[in-house]
Amino acid sequence: MKLIVGNWKMYPRKLGDAKAIVGKLKFPAKKLPRTKVVVCPPTLYILPLVALLGRSPILLGAQNTFTVDEGAYTGETSPAALVSSGATHAIVGHSERRALGEDDAVVAQKAIAAVRSGLTVVLCVGEAVRDPGGAYFTEVGRELRASLSGFPKNMTKRLVVAYEPIWAIGSSALRAATPEDFREMSIFIKRNLVDRFGKSAGFSVPILYGGSVDEKNAGGFLKEGGADGLLVGRASLDPERFSEIVRVAVNTR
């Protein structure tokens, strides 16, 4: 099963434009074989898009959530409220949120609260720079362990890890990582997950690649890179490109 997640970030400005993007998505079949598609729009658009999507195979996710289900936390979004609005997934620990001050401890609490509420967590990890000495492995390993602190072993079925090297994200990125970069790191991540959760639970956590994914490089990550899926930023806002990425995933065995 491949998982394709679109992270719309804080785009578009208007609900009408969000509806138009979703309306233009064209997938090869109503039921996508071996592929799950999750669109993560700005939180306010989740509810109207759930209504618009009806019985389409597209699922909806949030780009962030909070550490508890309810309480005196002005302005936060409860994971329970997300579930009751129709969201099935939540991205947690995206580097753009970490850059705003979210630390590993908060990320870990959010991941736990999200899975306890019934969401599937897409936990993002990734190094800021790649040093020739390979210290980035240590950095990612440390971030992963700290972001999974206290995560219940019996909830790993609701855990997905997205490897997103920060240097490969966004329009100022030098380049995407290579499928080989991803393959190496995903083996390392898997080893850490096995250490943390045991063989069978650790091995079954899907690992996605994210960072400048487009319709041209998607196949390389899925096939040569062995990615279980992709976390797509910019290209997910273009219905033609995102549809093509999904088509590539459907056709990758």
> What is the C-alpha separation between 218 and 229, in angstroms, rounded?
9
Q: Which residue is nearest to ligand PGA (CB)?
A: 233
Antiparallel, parallel or unpaired: β 35-40 and 120-125 = unpaired
Using rule CB under 6 A, residue 117 touches ligand PGA: no
Q: Of residues 232, 245, 249, 250, which one binds ligand PGA by CB under 6 A?
A: 232
DSSP letters along 132-173, please? Answer: TT-HHHHHHHHHHHHHTTT--GGGGGGEEEEE--GGGSSTT-
Which residue, among 106, 178, 115, 179, has the nearest Cα to 143 in the 3D structure?
A: 106
Contact 218, 245 (CB under 8 A): yes
Using rule CB under 6 A, residue 212 touches ligand PGA: yes
> What is the C-alpha separation between 235 and 185, in angstroms, rounded?
23
Smallest gap from residue 64 Cβ to ligand PGA (A): 12
Length of the chain: 253
| Residue 72, SS3 per DSSP | coil
Using rule CB under 6 A, residue 169 touches ligand PGA: yes
Using rule CB under 6 A, residue 233 touches ligand PGA: yes
Smallest gap from residue 114 Cβ to ligand PGA (A): 17
* CB of 81 or CB of 89, closer to ligand PGA: 89
Residues binding ligand PGA: number (CB under 6 A): 13
Q: Of residues 79, 93, 202, 211, which one binds ligand PGA by CB under 6 A?
A: 211
For residue 4, give both structure tokens: 């394709």
Q: Of residues 234, 241, 247, 248, which one binds ligand PGA by CB under 6 A?
A: 234
Contact 211, 165 (CB under 8 A): yes
Smallest gap from residue 51 Cβ to ligand PGA (A): 26
Using rule CB under 6 A, residue 210 touches ligand PGA: yes
Which residue, among 25, 91, 27, has the nearest Cα to 52 in the 3D structure?
A: 25
Q: Of residues 189, 231, 248, 249, which one binds ligand PGA by CB under 6 A?
A: 231
Within the chain, how many helices (H) and strands (E) appear?
10, 8
User: Which residues belong to the active site?
Assistant: 94, 164
For residue 84, give both structure tokens: 């009751």
Smallest gap from residue 177 Cβ to ligand PGA (A): 11
Using rule CB under 6 A, residue 89 touches ligand PGA: no
Contact 198, 227 (CB under 8 A): no
* CB of 25 or CB of 81, closer to ligand PGA: 25
Contact residues for ligand PGA, defined by CB under 6 A: 7, 164, 169-170, 173, 210-213, 231-234
